A and B are shown apart, each in its own frame.
Chain A
Amino acid sequence: MKNRTKIKSKLSVAFSENFPNAYNKFTLKHVNQQTGFPETILSKPLSECKVALLSTAGVHLKTDIPFNLDLHPGDHTIRIVPGDASEQDLTVTHMYYDLKSAKKDTTIVFPIQQLKELEQAGVIGEISDVHIGLFGGIMDTEHVEAESIPKVVELFKNKNIDVALLVPG
């Protein structure tokens, strides 16, 4: 990570932690207003559904190439997390939140273990064998919308995913 990125990261984290209301206003100002909701109603009970996780907290396998934090306006590439990945296999790369807690316990941003337990309890039908890690600190979402999201949607459709749980950082 370049020094400029390190400084930017430290300032961003300090801003969000010390001035949460101002951070909320700043974020709100930089988000485009969307109208209407995509309407999808589950056609079967949860106990028969296949469920996947998608995290924008910069989750990826330790063996993966980390997200490139020096890229402007942000690394929009995707990381695939296999369903059999353990917490010990995962790490996080991000610059807009304090990573100390997530590095200690990745389930706070990627609760795959709890999803497995709910599968065993019969709450869901099946946990997907693929999940997605993204870097959510994207200033310009053009590439995310044109490339990353269609890839994820196609992957999830091919895997017959019924439910996607979205987790931020």
Chain B
Amino acid sequence: MATSMITLLPDVTEKTGVPRTLHVPFKLGRPCGEPFDFGTRKKVVHQLLQLTEKPAGSRWEYKS
């Protein structure tokens, strides 16, 4: 099973050894963006899915 994780605290997820992370520029408690901003939400999920195809250790920044 491949996993990808959204991160708001990249230093922390790096230390915990998460295989793949998507660093998002949002506030704590809003990992997929602002309420009702469904366009952003879809982009986040899509990028997170694409990341699962990459090798462990991949670190991506969210592209708006």
Contacts and interface: CB of A to CB of B under 8 A. Distances in A.
Interface string A15-43: 01100100010011001111111111110
Interface residues of B, number: 40
B32 A109 contact: yes
A126 to B, nearest CB: 13
Given A42-B52, A117-B42, A164 B1 contact: yes
Nearest to A46: B49
B31 A163 contact: no
Contact of A99 (B2, B29, B38, B55): B29
A24 B11 contact: yes
A75 interface: no
A169 B29 contact: yes
Given A97-B28, A118-B42, A34 B15 contact: yes
Contacts of A168: 5-8, 31
Interface string B33-55: 11110100110111011101101
Contacts of B49: 46, 51, 118, 123-124, 163, 165
B29 A46 contact: no
Interface string B9-32: 101100111110000000111111
A166 interface: yes
A161 interface: yes
B32 to A, nearest CB: 5
Given A24-B11, A37-B56, A42-B52, A57 B41 contact: no
Interface of A: 16-17, 20, 24, 27-28, 31-42, 46, 49, 51, 57, 97-99, 101-102, 104-105, 107-109, 111, 113-115, 117-118, 123-124, 153, 156-157, 161-169
Closest 3 CB pairs of A and B: A34-B17, A97-B29, A37-B56
26 contacts: A28-B11, A37-B56, A37-B57, A38-B19, A38-B56, A40-B1, A41-B2, A41-B55, A42-B53, A46-B52, A57-B29, A97-B29, A98-B28, A99-B29, A101-B35, A104-B36, A108-B31, A109-B32, A111-B41, A111-B42, A163-B1, A166-B3, A167-B5, A168-B5, A168-B7, A169-B28
